[in-house]
Structure formats: C-alpha cells, structure tokens
C-alpha cells in the first residue's frame, strides 16, 4: 500500500456535436504503434517527465484523456463570470479529484475547495491547499477524529452539520483536543438527502453552534442540485430562486438573532451564472471543469434550448474497438467497470448508441446506413457521469491535440488506500 506522499508524486513525476448527420466521415484513428507501447516503458518515461513523441494511440485503453486547452478555457470562463457577478468560487473537487486541476482553479481566483469526503480534504491539505469545506458532517469515531485533526492542522478547514447531536459530539471531541472548529449549518434546498429545515430550525442549530465553546459558526451551506438541470435558463433561474428562498430567510433570522453570517455557499455548474442572484456568496460548481453529457440538454443563457454551450467537454474515455462480429454492433473495452451510464456519447459520432456489454465490454450500435467504427479503431467517448468515471481510473492522460503532454494522478477515489 502506497503512502499519500508516494501517490501524490507518482503521477506528477470539437464541438461535441460537430458531425451529427448520418454517414459523416469518421475521424477515429486505428491503433498502430511503432514505438514501445508497453505500460512499463510508458510509466518509466512518465516518471522522467519525458512525453516526447507520445500520442493517444500509444495509450492503454480504456483510459481518461483530458484536453488541456478546453480544461483551461472552462476554468477561466467560470472564474471570469463569477468575478463579474461578484460571487466567490470554492469549486468542488468531487469530479476531478486532481491536485493539478485544483491548482489551476486556485490560480484563477478560487478562495478554497469543496470536498465530498474527509479523505479528499486530507489529500488536498497534504498538497498544500487551504480554505476547504467538507460537505458532510463527521459521524462516527473515525470521521470525527479526522475532522478534528484536520481542523487543528489547518484553521481554514470547515465542515457542515445539520444535527444537534452531531454538534454535541463534535464539541466533546474538539474540547478533548483543545481545538476550535469552524462549522457551517447545512440547510435543505430541495434535495432530501441532507440539510436541516430552513428558517427557525436552521437558526436554532446555528445558535447551538455559536454557543459552543469550541466551535465557530460561519454561515450556511445549501446545495440546490435539483435546480441545476432544469431545462431553459429562465426556468432554471426561477427554480433556483424558489428552492433557496428558505436559505435567504435563514440568513435574515440569523442576523436578527445577532449571529454573523460570513458564508452562504452552494450552487452548481448549471446555475453558475444565476447563483449570485439567489443570496449565495460562494459557488461550489464541479462539473464545469470537464463537463459531462448530462448537462448538454438543459439549454443556456444564450437562448439555445437544446444545448448548454457555456462549457466544453474536456474529458473523454479513450477506448478500442475489439470485436465486430455482429450486425450493427461492435464491442469496445469500455465496459461496466468504467461506463457509468448508457447516456454517454461518442465524440464525432453521436448517433451511435452506447450500451453495456459486461464488466469489460462496451457495446455500440447503429442503424442501417449510419457510419460506424471498425475493428481496431480508437474512439473517444464523452462520459455522462463524471464522478463515476473518474472514480474508476487512477490517472488522467493530458493531451493537446493528439499529443500527450502530462499525466496527473486522480486522488481520493472511493475505496482507494487513502480512504
């Protein structure tokens, strides 16, 4: 089992619908490698940071490929928009799980990071990141001790709670270690998975935090994820304003009770250009860095009701066609272990239907007359669930055009040693 330090150092050493008509010319390339393509040899070169001559067709498949230019453009666009709208950015790392991506976000003006697990928070802290929020409350000895330890190590670290019993547990643990922890009250904003009721219940819990000797109340967190995928910009704005109304009311009540509310955090990729109107002071967007196909149909502020164009898909799964013996169907090595949903889309051939053929088998089907891949072709597929796709791999191959220019480790995956 590798240490965090070893893992951290190991990997650091188109328009999506550009051709939608049937019969469009294929632009996939067949996998042919004149150089040594063994993963052992490639890893040696990656460790030496020697990427000369390495191209996509030399990579082991399936694997994740990041378009560096599109990634940088996505990070810049959200940062510029947030800055113009007067809202801070504390992006969520649950999608990319990458120190290198986080550094780009911080360089673009992010004030910190948002994490789904305590493991993510620890790993990014080890990499020198500050200003992290853990979006779940510490329940159980292991989680509580780790949250307290990270609070002691990094006074900028914060986590949430929606339960008075958890507040009491955390107060006891913080007192035992003589550390003051920073708490956000998690308020339900439509998703019935977490969060206390807005209004009086939320403020009562905030008062309990503020009255605790070893806690500091910072504000409220509210994730309105159910509004993020509402189709049409104006409909999405209306939904966001409605689901966050109670959170705005909670802030008013807290201020009337004499509680300072320094932070109102939440938001999403789908509402990144709306959240500044809802009362939030921080944006926790995640998907925007890579963009997945689930967001494409929601429509943008530009009036296009069929396509969300604000961010470009910067992440693909590279896969090889490895069987062609059935009519109107080919198999790939992108199977259920990596394929999160059947709503993934094949780059430059979106008419192909993506299916699951088994643990290590993907299935692509088409109708008569449609252009289709052949045995040995390399395909790039846009994932529809980035969280799941990135959790299935341990690295990103970073590309500019067809060239591979870097390799980045994927951190804090569920079930990984660091958890």
Residues of each domain in the chain carrying CATH 2.40.37.20: 51-67+309-409
CA atoms of 390 and 393, how far apart (whole Å): 6
The whole-model pTM stands at 0.90
CA atoms of 315 and 403, how far apart (whole Å): 15
Residue 184's CB is within 10 A of a number of other CB atoms, namely 27
Question: What's the confidence (pLDDT) of residue 68?
Answer: 99
Domain range 68-293, CATH architecture? Alpha-Beta Barrel (3.20)
3-class SS of residue 175: helix
Sign of CA dihedral 229, 389, 160, 156: negative
Question: What's the confidence (pLDDT) of residue 419?
Answer: 54
Q: Which residue numbers in the chain have pLDDT < 50?
A: 1-33, 417
Whether the Cβ atoms of residue 58 and residue 37 lie closer than 8 Å to each other: yes
Sign of CA dihedral 69, 71, 269, 187: negative
The CA-based angle 135-141-142, given to 5 degrees, is: 65
Whether the Cβ atoms of residue 386 and residue 351 lie closer than 8 Å to each other: no
Q: What is the DSSP letter of 136?
A: S
Residues of each domain in the chain carrying CATH 3.20.20.10: 68-293
CA atoms of 336 and 348, how far apart (whole Å): 22
CA atoms of 418 and 386, how far apart (whole Å): 20
What CATH class does 51-67+309-409 carry?
Answer: mainly beta
Q: In this predicted model, what pLDDT tens digit does every residue of 344-392 receive, in sequence order?
A: 899 999 999 998 888 899 999 999 999 999 999 999 999 988 988 999 9
Whether the Cβ atoms of residue 405 and residue 73 lie closer than 8 Å to each other: no
């Amino acid at each position: 089992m590798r240490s965090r330090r070893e893992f951290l150092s190991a990997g650091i050493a188109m328009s999506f619908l550009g051709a939608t008509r049937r019969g469009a010319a294929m632009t996939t390339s067949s996998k042919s490698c004149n150089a040594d393509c063994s993963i052992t040899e490639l890893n040696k070169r990656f460790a030496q940071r020697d990427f000369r001559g390495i191209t996509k067709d030399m990579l082991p498949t399936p694997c994740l490929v990041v378009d560096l230019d599109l990634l940088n453009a996505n990070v810049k666009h959200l940062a510029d928009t947030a800055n113009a709208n007067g809202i801070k950015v504390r992006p969520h790392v649950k999608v990319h799980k990458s120190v290198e991506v986080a550094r780009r976000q911080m360089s673009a003006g992010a004030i910190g990071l948002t994490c789904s697990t305590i493991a993510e928070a620890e790993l990014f802290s080890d990499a020198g990141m500050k200003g992290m929020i853990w979006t779940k409350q510490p329940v159980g000895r292991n989680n509580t001790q780790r949250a307290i330890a990270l609070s002691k190590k990094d006074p900028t670290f914060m986590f949430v709670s929606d339960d008075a019993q958890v507040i009491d547990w955390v107060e006891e643990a913080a007192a035992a270690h003589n550390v003051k922890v920073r708490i956000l009250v998690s308020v339900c904003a439509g998703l019935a998975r977490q969060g206390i009721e807005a209004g009086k219940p939320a403020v009562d819990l905030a008062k309990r935090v503020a009255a605790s000797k070893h806690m500091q109340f910072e504000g409220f967190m509210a994730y309105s994820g159910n509004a993020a995928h509402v189709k049409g910009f104006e409909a999405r704005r209306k939904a966001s304003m409605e689901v966050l109304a109670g959170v705005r009311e909670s802030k008013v009540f807290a201020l009337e009770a004499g509680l300072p509310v320094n932070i109102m955090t939440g938001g999403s990729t789908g509402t990144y250009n709306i959240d500044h109107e809802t009362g939030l002071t921080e944006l926790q967007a995640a998907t925007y860095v890579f963009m997945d196909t689930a967001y494409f149909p929601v429509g943008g502020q530009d009036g296009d009701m069929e396509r969300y164009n604000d961010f470009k898909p910067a992440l693909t799964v590279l896969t090889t066609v490895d069987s062609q013996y059935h009519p109107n169907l080919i198999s790939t090595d992108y199977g259920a272990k990596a394929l999160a949903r059947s709503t993934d889309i094949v780059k430059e051939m979106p008419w192909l239907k993506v299916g699951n053929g088994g643990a290590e088998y993907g299935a692509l089907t088409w109708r008569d007359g449609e252009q289709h891949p052949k045995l040995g072709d390399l395909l790039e597929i846009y994932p529809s669930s980035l969280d799941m796709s990135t959790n299935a791999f341990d690295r990103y191959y970073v590309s500019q055009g067809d060239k591979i220019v870097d390799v980045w480790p994927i951190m804090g995956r569920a079930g990984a040693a660091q958890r």
